[in-house]
Amino acid sequence: MAAQLLWTLGLGVLVVWAVKTWIQYSALTDKAHIRRIRGLTTIFANGSNVSMVLRSSSTLGLGQTQLWFNIRRWYETSGWDVSAAISFFPRAKVTYFVSDPALLKEITSSRTEFPKSTEQYDVLRFFGRNIVTEEGEEWKKYKKICAPAFSERNNRLVWDYALRIISDFFEEVWLLDKVPSDTEVVIEDFKIPSTQFTLRIIVAASFGQLLPWRTVNTSYTSFSKPSSEIKLP
């Protein structure tokens, strides 16, 4: 009896959700602008965990690589610079994909009309609330705190140091190794030099210290094993 009651209750909840979702879906597809730019229809939204796990085209979710390999086809089909993907779970919703630079600038610069989805940044709240995880009045508070560090003067400083550090890498590592100018240089794992770029730019911009490239121990190339030469005091 109890099992039958639970089955009936579960079926009732499913029916209510299905009817509610269909009403929401019908309301979305009745909008003329969505019909014109409509792309794919999936069960799970693009920002869901299920969609993040998928790697190829699927009716469950768009997947990680779907946006990169097939998004141009969506625009070509609709003939617009905006494509709309509709999903059903947990509720019917539409996700817009934009390729028009002017429209992208309008969206990203108008925080009032286009607030970001803060739910996607919940994992970053592990370190506490910050300018990335918040929106609205909270974002304004953190923006006021962080604004002095991101002035145009500091941005220019970071840019100049980035150019100099990467140029020094070419001169000190490649040119001193007498690599011919017409030789193709292949870096199998770019994580190694890119982490060095990042750390050196931070050190230079924050502390004014430019570290020479010739002193770098390039034999340490693993992020999963501790280095015998890197020790904490």
Q: Give the domain extent around 130.
A: 110-149
Is the same domain home to 35 and 87?
A: yes
Is the same domain home to 120 and 195?
A: no
Is the same domain home to 48 and 78?
A: yes
Handedness of CA 116, 84, 57, 21 (dihedral sign): positive
The model's pTM: 0.51
Which tokens hold the place of 148?
């002095």
Is the same domain home to 143 and 156?
A: no
In a domain, 27, yes or no: yes
User: How does pLDDT run across 2-16, given as a tens digit for each residue?
Assistant: 777 778 787 887 887
Which tokens hold the place of 65?
């690589």
Is the same domain home to 24 and 56?
A: yes
Give the pLDDT of residue 178: 58
Instruction: Answer yes or no: are the C-beta atoms of 38 and 25 closer than 8 Å.
Output: no
The region of weakest confidence among 41-50, 60-69, 84-93, 111-120 is 60-69
In a domain, 233, yes or no: no
On the question of pLDDT at 146 being above 80, the answer is: yes
On the question of pLDDT at 70 being above 70, the answer is: no
In a domain, 227, yes or no: no
On the question of pLDDT at 147 being above 70, the answer is: yes
pLDDT band at 57 (very low <50, low <70, confident <90, very high): low
In a domain, 229, yes or no: no
Give the pLDDT of residue 231: 42
In a domain, 226, yes or no: no
Is the same domain home to 21 and 70?
A: yes
In a domain, 197, yes or no: yes
On the question of pLDDT at 157 being above 50, the answer is: yes
Instruction: Answer yes or no: are the C-beta atoms of 53 and 38 closer than 8 Å.
Output: no
Q: Give percent of the chain above pLDDT 90.
A: 4
Tell how strand 38-44 and strand 82-89 pair up. Answer: parallel
Is the same domain home to 39 and 127?
A: no
Prior bond of 90 cis (ω within 30°): yes
In a domain, 161, yes or no: yes
On the question of pLDDT at 190 being above 50, the answer is: yes
Instruction: Answer yes or no: are the C-beta atoms of 62 and 51 closer than 8 Å.
Output: yes
CA within 13 Å, CB half, 126:
3
Which tokens hold the place of 12?
């009732």
Is the same domain home to 28 and 73?
A: yes
Is the same domain home to 134 and 187?
A: no
Give the pLDDT of residue 56: 59
On the question of pLDDT at 69 being above 50, the answer is: yes
How many distinct structural domains can be found in the chain?
Answer: 3
Mean of the per-residue pLDDT values of the chain: 76
Handedness of CA 11, 91, 68, 194 (dihedral sign): negative
In a domain, 103, yes or no: no
Average pLDDT over residues 57-64: 67
**Domain end: 67, 98, 129, which one?**
98
CA–CA distance, 187 with 179 (Å, rounded to integer)? 14
Is the same domain home to 73 and 38?
A: yes
Give the pLDDT of residue 160: 92
Give the pLDDT of residue 163: 92
